[in-house]
Structures are given as C-alpha cells and as structure tokens.
C-alpha cells in the first residue's frame, strides 16, 4: 500500500488508541478516514468525533462491503491486531475477498520508517508516559514532531501529533513482536520485566525480542537505556551504536538524585539542575529521565526540558485524578501487572500520606493473571484495602481457569485486607457502603473498571 496514492482508508477497530492516533495522522495527510468498532464508549470516541472521522458502531460485513464496493480510486483497509478473521466478520470478509489490507503495525511502519528520524520508546513499563513527555519536550523545543502515544494527552489535545518536522516519536509495543517491523534511528528502552505470557512463554523469550529490536538500530543510531534494570544493563552493553544510560544508578550518565515531594510536586536533580514534575511517583521520575536523556542527545537545551516537564500534566489513566466526592479522592490508573501496581501505590502513599488507600483492581487477561499470580500479593502492600473483580477477558482471550479470587488469596497471604467483588455493579455498591471521608480510591487495570469510577463520582 502506497500512502502517497491512497485517498481514503477504512479502519477496522478504529477506537483503539493506536488506531485513533494513526487515523489522525492519515487525515492530516489529506486521506479520508472512516472505520468501525464496538458500540461501547471509550476515551477515543471524543477524539474521533472532534476529528470528524465517521465510525460505524458494531462490526458488520455490510459496512466494509459498502466501502470497498464504492468505485473510488486509492482505497485501503487497515485493521487492529486485536481482531482475527475467524472472529471479526469485517476482517474475515476482507481476507476472503483478498482485498489488500494492512495491520496497524504494518501501516505505522510505512509512515515511521519513511520519516527522517524515527524514535521508538519501548519497555515493559512507562512507555506511554515517556513517549508523552518526549513529545511535549520536542514540541516545546520547536521541532514540530509527529507522535503516536498510547493514551490521550490532554495538553496535546489527543494521542497524536501531526507536525511537519523530521522527528517521529512512536510508542512501540513488543506484544506479538509488533515493533520488529519498525526501523528507528533512536530507541528509548525503559526496562524489561516479563510480560505478555500468551505471546512470550518464558522470560527468556521476552528478553530475546528486545535484543532483536535493539539490533535493528543503525551504527549511527542512539540507544537510550534505563540501566537500573539488570537485564537492560546486560543487553545494551552489546550495542554497536551510541549508548546513553539513565536511571538512579551511580553508573547512569543521566542520573536522578535527591528525589523529594514538596507542595504537591516531585522534585529531583539531574546534575546541577533541579527538575519538577506535577505527576507523582519515583517511577515517573524514571520515565522523565528517559525523555531527558533522549532530548539531550538531540541537543535540546536543558532549560527547555525543565520548563516542559514542569508543565507536563500527565496522560489519561496514568494516576489520573478524576475528582473528589464527599472528601473521597478518585483516581484512575492503567497499572495491570505487579511492578506497575507496586509503583503506582508507592507513589500514592508518598503523595497522600496519612490517607486510607483503597485499590480496586480488575485483573487483565487470564494468561497474565495466572503467570504473574505470585507477584500480585506483594504488589498491594501499600493499599490499606484491596477490592478485586472478575478477570477482564480481552478480545484475544475469552476464558480461562483462574479467577479474581486467586489474586485475593495472594494478597491475604501477606496479611493485607482484600475482598473478591466479582462484578463492577457490585463494586459500585461496595464503594457506596464502605468508603469514608479522606479515602483515596484508585481503580487499577487495563480493562473497563474506570467507568465505575466515573459513575461513583456522578451519583
């Protein structure tokens, strides 16, 4: 598919965050975009509506057939990898008819690999925030970048930048080895902790795909690596391009020091410069260090980086403060594996000392919950009370043998209070009955528990 000749595209699964960003980028190129997705409302609905992108709700062969049968030159179909031909009627029909179609990573690769300077941000944790921070920094530096970010960034007005500059910042997903299709000039590697066991059966399999990705960098490329993580430190030592390290380790070239909380801000030092963040948590300092390291490698002035990070307001569903009701603070967070949960709760404990923290956790996918089960108990150490729901079954994995009760059992082993409350309706009722003034409620998971948070605030 040649985007220079394409006049319109139909996107199957257009409400996905990556697909929505790609839709905005294609639209900026003068390509008419339409698509389809489930009727359920997501944060991307508003972005698509604002962009004037028509979305058919519900998957139907009639929708994509009508598009493909309209005699217009320069048509194309792009589909989300969350769907398969055997389960999605539109994608199944496209494949049966042998219509040329690209997956999301294939389509992104065509644009990204053609850019003068592609920057991939990858790792197990923090890539959305690091990508967003870096996009804001380069935008504030006047470099007019393109960017695809894995969540809505309110200060950017969406999760994409469609600038005309040379730099293209891409949040690069390792799942299904998608990022191996990209050819970056620079990589920011935050960390490596085993994830996606349905795709990578062992930690060694997971590590190997990152080694392969790093190997794609050209000799004149830049590798920015978070060496606080032992696996990262090991594999990047074999890099054949420029290496810039970051973290809290004394060995890091861009090192964060004297991390402290003052007046609702996280302060830390990088060399002689004091940096300030409005988003909480040591993990966000680490994310910022990765963005700083890459920006400095691109010779962005330190003053620009300082002011940009100081004004950075965060992204949706990353410790996002939704509001307060009767003295109860409500927060939505995407954390869905033990390391992310632990980091988020540690940040909240530091930011809201003395307040009772209630974590509402919706486990995400059966394979992940089963593979990482032993780590979930200790992850909730900083929560005073934890409520665990049924497991959210994703489009790629409909059922399994484990339940949320198994997670509760792990939390109980360390002496913490935890309840299994299976459905979101029951969670809503539990919150109305059990919360008290001064509580901080954090909804955690990659599913749809956040909708209960919003309902709770409205009642």
Residue 332, pLDDT above cutoff 80: yes
User: pLDDT tens digit string along 438-452?
Assistant: 999 999 998 888 889
What is the pLDDT, as a whole number, of residue 398?
62
Rounded to 5 degrees, φ, ψ at 175 are -60, 135
Residue 397, pLDDT above cutoff 70: no
User: pLDDT tens digit string along 66-89?
Assistant: 998 876 778 899 999 989 999 999
Neighbours of 298 (CB within 10 A): 16
Among residues 218, 243, 232, 8, the alpha carbon closest in space to that of 113 is found at 218
Residue 400, pLDDT above cutoff 90: no
In sign, the C-alpha dihedral spanning 431, 434, 440, 442 is: negative
Tokens of 399: 């059922």
Give the whole-number percent of the chain exceeding pLDDT 70.
99
DSSP state of 181: G
What predicted TM-score, i.e. pTM, was given to this entire model? 0.86
- Tell me what the pLDDT averaged over the chain comes to: 92
Question: Who contacts 309 (Cβ-Cβ below 8 Å, separation ≥6)?
Answer: 133, 136, 137, 275, 276, 277, 288, 291, 292
pLDDT bin (cut points 50, 70, 90) of residue 395 is low
> CA 255 to CA 419: how far, in whole Å?
40
pLDDT bin (cut points 50, 70, 90) of residue 97 is very high
Q: Which residues is 153 bridged to in the sheet? A: 158
In sign, the C-alpha dihedral spanning 408, 411, 414, 416 is: negative
- Give the pLDDT mean for 231-245: 91
User: pLDDT tens digit string along 20-44?
Assistant: 999 999 999 999 999 999 998 888 9
Question: Of the given ranges (70-84, 108-122, 144-158, 305-319), which has the lowest mean pLDDT?
Answer: 70-84
What is the pLDDT, as a whole number, of residue 13?
96
Among residues 409, 396, 331, the alpha carbon closest in space to that of 368 is found at 396
Label residue 458 exposed, middle or buried (CB < 10 Å: 0-12, 13-18, 19+): exposed
Q: What domains are defined for the chain?
A: 8-103 (3.40.50.720), 113-311 (3.40.1190.10), 320-458 (3.90.190.20)
Question: Of the given ranges (99-113, 223-237, 340-354, 398-412), which has the lowest mean pLDDT?
Answer: 398-412
- Give the pLDDT mean for 360-367: 91
User: pLDDT tens digit string along 49-61?
Assistant: 999 999 999 999 9
What is the pLDDT, as a whole number, of residue 40?
87
Let me know the angle formed at the C-alpha of 23 by 19 and 29, rounded to the nearest 5 degrees: 145
> CA 209 to CA 175: how far, in whole Å?
10
């Amino acid at each position: 598919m040649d985007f220079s000749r394409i006049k319109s595209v139909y996107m199957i699964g257009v409400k996905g965050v990556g697909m929505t960003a790609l839709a905005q980028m294609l639209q900026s190129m003068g390509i008419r975009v339409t698509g389809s997705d489930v009727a359920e409302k997501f944060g991307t609905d508003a972005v698509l509506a604002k962009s004037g992108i028509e979305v058919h709700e519900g998957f139907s062969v009639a929708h994509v057939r009508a598009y493909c049968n309209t005699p217009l030159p320069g048509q194309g179909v792009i589909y989300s990898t969350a769907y398969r031909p055997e389960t999605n009627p539109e994608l199944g029909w496209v494949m049966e008819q042998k219509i040329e179609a690209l997956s999301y990573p294939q389509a992104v690769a065509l644009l990204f690999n053609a850019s003068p300077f592609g920057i991939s941000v990858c790792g197990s944790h923090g890539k959305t925030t690091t990508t967003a921070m870096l996009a804001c920094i380069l935008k504030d530096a006047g470099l007019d970048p393109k960017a695809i970010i894995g969540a809505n960034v309110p200060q950017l007005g969406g999760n994409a930048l469609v600038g005309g500059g040379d730099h293209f910042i891409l949040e690069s997903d390792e799942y299904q080895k998608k990022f191996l299709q990209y050819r970056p000039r620079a990589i920011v590697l935050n960390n490596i902790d085993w994830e996606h066991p349905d795709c990578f059966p062992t930690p060694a399999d997971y590590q190997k795909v990152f080694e392969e990705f790093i190997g794609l960098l050209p000799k004149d490329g830049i590798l920015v690596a978070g060496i606080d993580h032992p696996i990262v430190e090991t594999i990047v030592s074999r890099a054949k391009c420029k290496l810039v390290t970051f973290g809290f380790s004394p060995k890091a070239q861009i090192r964060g020091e004297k991390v402290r909380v003052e007046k609702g801000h996280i302060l830390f030092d990088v060399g002689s410069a004091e940096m300030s963040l409005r988003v909480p948590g040591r993990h966000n300092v680490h994310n910022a260090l990765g963005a700083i390291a890459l920006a400095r490698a691109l010779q962005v002035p330190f003053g620009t980086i300082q002011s940009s990070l100081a004004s950075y307001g965060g992204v949706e569903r990353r410790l996002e403060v939704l509001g307060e009701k009767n003295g109860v603070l409500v927060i939505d967070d995407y954390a869905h594996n033990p390391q992310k949960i632990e980091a988020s709760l540690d940040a909240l404990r530091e930011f809201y000392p003395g307040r009772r923290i209630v974590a509402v956790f919706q486990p995400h996918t059966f394979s992940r919950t089963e593979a990482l089960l032993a780590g979930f108990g200790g992850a909730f150490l900083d929560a005073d009370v934890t409520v665990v729901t049924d497991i959210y079954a994703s489009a790629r994995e409909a059922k399994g043998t484990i339940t949320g009760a198994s997670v509760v059992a792990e939390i109980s082993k360390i002496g913490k209070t935890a309840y299994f409350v299976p459905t979101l309706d029951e969670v809503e009722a539990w919150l109305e009955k059990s919360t008290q003034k001064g509580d901080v409620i954090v909804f955690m998971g990659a599913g749809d528990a956040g909708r209960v948070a919003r309902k709770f605030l409205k009642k």
